[in-house]
Chain A
Amino acid sequence: MSIDLFLQHLSNGISLGSLYALIAIGYTMVYGILRLINFAHGDIFMMATYFAFFGIATFRIPWFITFPLVLVLTAALGMGVEAVAYRPLRDAPKISLLISAIGASFFLENLTIVLFGGVPRPFPAPKLFTDVVQVGTVAIQKLTFYIPIVTVLALLGLVYLINKTKTGMAMRAVSMDHETAQVMGININRTISFTFGLGSLLAAVGGIMWGMKFPQIQPLMGVVPGLKCFIAAVIGGIGNIGGAVIGGFILGIGEIMLVAFLPNLTGYRDAFAFVLLILILMSKPTGILGEKTAEKV
């Protein structure tokens, strides 16, 4: 393999990893604050691509207005799912919450099929992003460069928000102890809702870029990426945001490299994530950055 080709694969892997990371953060943040695997997260990601599709293709709104609008709508959707499917179960056993999450996932998938049809649609990616540039001997989509840049900016914003703002401090406090956080004057419902909004917003950032990179959208497109990003979050150590990012990149780069170096295994591309998950959990059950926690029974 030439160095050029390798670099092309690597840049591809980095941009796929970026997308995984953006989605995985949503899983890990919600887990951190509610100890819930939000199975609807992949479907929220899917809805974001539909919002973008309707904005650009149907309503002909310019992309620079559509995209921010998509972020807001998707964040609102995530908060809506939390308010309807999870908040009423705040004091219920965790298993009820999990089942409700699966229900929310099926609901969003089927709602999309009913409303928009099951036929895949072409994602109307603005040409600005899909243009190809020649780097040495290889041709690379501009998008491949934009994705990691946008991801890094989004991550920097997130790190600032969580570590330097009052809301971020509240999120961290609530994720450690709901009761004591309330005693300190923190409105935990509002904080949890904000967390869902934030995770969904990041999924929307990922969704828009995903739509441009793989320009075909359909109602079940969130299922496999959703599962993989959940795995990415677990590999990194669920509940840990840095871990989700690392997990996302390991998965994205690993998947592309697997296909590049072992083309015979291309058909097993999606299985790669699961094999990796098993291998990592065997040696480190709490994930790469996960900490040992004694589960309170």
Chain B
Amino acid sequence: MLKIEDLVVAYGGIEALKGISLEVKEGQIVTLVGANGAGKSTTLRTVIGLVKPVSGRVLFQGRDLLAEKTHHLAKQHITLVPEGRRIFAKLTVLENLKIGAFSRRDEKGIKADLEWVFSLFPILKERSWQLAGTLSGGEQQMLAVGRALMSRPRLLMMDEPSLGLAPLLVKEIFRIIKEINQQGVTILLIEQNANAALRIADQGYVLETGRIVLQGSGQELLANQQVKAAYLGKRRGI
């Protein structure tokens, strides 16, 4: 579904991505694992068109995405849950969700998806008239995910959805990611919580300073000694 080929991205002459290639197949959960500054966010931001690469290709079902403007991608049902949530703090919860469906015209479908999001996150329904900025961190994260779902994504990219959440909520978020995926949404996930991410992932890539150094199924990477040492630490459980 999504194919990245030899992608090179530089910020002011410094290469953040040094030619990475990866593939996300339809229906999969694919995760990018790596330390801060490895280029994970840059990869997602390039796919969505917020960063222009030096060279390389990004293909979505065979079509080159790099030629597309960011605001056209929502119409192709490609969306991003950005790092740090980036909800619209001074819009209400309901308005945030409606913004997620901005490029859609099918009022009935939007309504149905709104009910779907409310069933995934009942707290958002309760708070739909509240300003989004007044939500707690966990609720804001749910809103960011819900907002992305409102575009009825085929490809959903998520940048650190569990960042800063309490352990119980982290568990909940991963359960929901899995559930969204089971509804047929393909997911490209970045997580600092490599353990939890690899457990739900069909495929994983390990990034190190702008290069892919390892790839394999979630299970393979979980068992890999290198990965264990570098990213999984001693912490178990979550």
Least CB distance from A212 to B in Å reads 37
Q: Which residues of A contact B146 (CB under 8 A)?
A: none
Q: State whether A166 and B102 are in contact (beta carbons under 8 Å apart), knowing that A184-B151, A185-B151 are contacts in the complex.
A: yes
Assess the B86–A180 pair: CB atoms within 8 A: yes
Once bound together, how far apart are the Cα atoms of A187 and B79, in whole Å?
Answer: 15
Report if A235 contacts B (CB, 8 A). no
Assess the A176–B90 pair: CB atoms within 8 A: yes
Report if B29 contacts A (CB, 8 A). no
User: What sequence of 0s and 1s flags, for each residue 87-114 of chain B, a beta carbon within 8 Å of any chain A beta carbon?
Assistant: 0111100010011101100000000000
Report if A186 contacts B (CB, 8 A). yes
Once bound together, how far apart are the Cα atoms of A180 and B45, in whole Å?
Answer: 11
Which of A169, A180, A181: most chain B CB closer than 10 A?
A: A180
Once bound together, how far apart are the Cα atoms of A182 and B49, in whole Å?
Answer: 9
Once bound together, how far apart are the Cα atoms of A176 and B132, in whole Å?
Answer: 12
Report if A270 contacts B (CB, 8 A). no
Report if A179 contacts B (CB, 8 A). yes
Once bound together, how far apart are the Cα atoms of A187 and B80, in whole Å?
Answer: 16
Which single member of A176, A177, A182 contacts B71 (CB below 8 Å)?
A182
Q: Which residues of A contact B82 (CB under 8 A)?
A: 179-180, 183
Q: Which residues of A contact B88 (CB under 8 A)?
A: 172-173, 176-177, 180
Assess the A170–B50 pair: CB atoms within 8 A: no
Least CB distance from A196 to B in Å reads 18
Q: Which residue of A lies closest to B84 (CB)?
A: A180
Once bound together, how far apart are the Cα atoms of A186 and B79, in whole Å?
Answer: 12
Once bound together, how far apart are the Cα atoms of A184 and B71, in whole Å?
Answer: 7
Interface positions of A from 156 to 190, Cβ below 8 Å from B: 166, 169-170, 172-173, 176-177, 179-188
Assess the A173–B86 pair: CB atoms within 8 A: no
Assess the B50–A179 pair: CB atoms within 8 A: yes
Q: Which residues of A contact B75 (CB under 8 A)?
A: 185
Report if B154 contacts A (CB, 8 A). no
Interface positions of A from 278 to 292, Cβ below 8 Å from B: none
Least CB distance from A29 to B in Å reads 15
Least CB distance from B213 to A in Å reads 29
Q: Which residue of A lies closest to B147 (CB)?
A: A184
Once bound together, how far apart are the Cα atoms of A177 and B70, in whole Å?
Answer: 14
Q: Which residues of B contact A166 (CB under 8 A)?
A: 102
Q: State whether A184 and B91 are in contact (beta carbons under 8 Å apart), knowing that A169-B98, A179-B50, A179-B82 are contacts in the complex.
A: no
Q: State whether A172 and B91 are in contact (beta carbons under 8 Å apart), knowing that A179-B50, A183-B79, A185-B151 are contacts in the complex.
A: yes
Least CB distance from B88 to A in Å reads 5
Which of B72, B74, B95, B99: most chain A CB closer than 10 A?
A: B99
Report if B48 contacts A (CB, 8 A). yes
Least CB distance from B237 to A in Å reads 33
Assess the B71–A185 pair: CB atoms within 8 A: yes
Q: Which residue of B lies closest to A163 (CB)?
A: B95
Once bound together, how far apart are the Cα atoms of A176 and B87, in whole Å?
Answer: 9
Once bound together, how far apart are the Cα atoms of A186 and B95, in whole Å?
Answer: 14
Assess the B86–A186 pair: CB atoms within 8 A: no
Least CB distance from A177 to B in Å reads 6
Q: Which residue of B lies closest to A175 (CB)?
A: B90
Interface positions of B from 47 to 70, Cβ below 8 Å from A: 48-50, 69-70
Q: Which residues of A contact B151 (CB under 8 A)?
A: 184-185
Q: Which residues of B contact A180 (CB under 8 A)?
A: 82, 86, 88
Assess the B70–A169 pair: CB atoms within 8 A: no
Q: Which residue of B lies closest to A190 (CB)?
A: B71
Which single member of A169, A177, A181 contacts B95 (CB below 8 Å)?
A169
Interface positions of B from 23 to 55, Cβ below 8 Å from A: 48-50
Once bound together, how far apart are the Cα atoms of A185 and B79, in whole Å?
Answer: 9
Assess the A182–B102 pair: CB atoms within 8 A: no
Q: Which residue of A lies closest to B89 (CB)?
A: A176
Which single member of B50, B74, B90, B95 contacts A185 (CB below 8 Å)?
B74
Q: Which residues of A contact B99 (CB under 8 A)?
A: 169-170, 173, 181, 184, 186
Q: State whether A183 and B50 are in contact (beta carbons under 8 Å apart), knowing that A169-B95, A172-B90, A176-B89 are contacts in the complex.
A: yes
Least CB distance from B32 to A in Å reads 18
Which single member of A170, A172, A182 contacts B70 (CB below 8 Å)?
A182
Q: Which residue of A lies closest to B81 (CB)?
A: A183
Which single member of A173, A179, A187, A188 contacts B91 (CB below 8 Å)?
A173
Q: Which residues of A contact B100 (CB under 8 A)?
A: 184
Q: Which residues of B contact A183 (CB under 8 A)?
A: 48, 50, 70-71, 73-74, 79-80, 82
- Give A residues with C-beta under 8 Å from B: 166, 169-170, 172-173, 176-177, 179-188
Subset of 23 A-B contacts with CB under 8 Å: A169-B91, A169-B95, A170-B102, A172-B88, A172-B91, A176-B90, A177-B88, A179-B50, A179-B82, A179-B86, A180-B82, A180-B88, A181-B99, A183-B48, A183-B50, A183-B70, A183-B73, A183-B74, A184-B79, A184-B147, A185-B71, A185-B73, A188-B71
Q: Which 10 pairs show the lowest CB-CB distances between chains A and B?
A: A185-B74, A185-B103, A182-B70, A180-B86, A185-B102, A182-B71, A187-B71, A184-B99, A184-B102, A176-B88
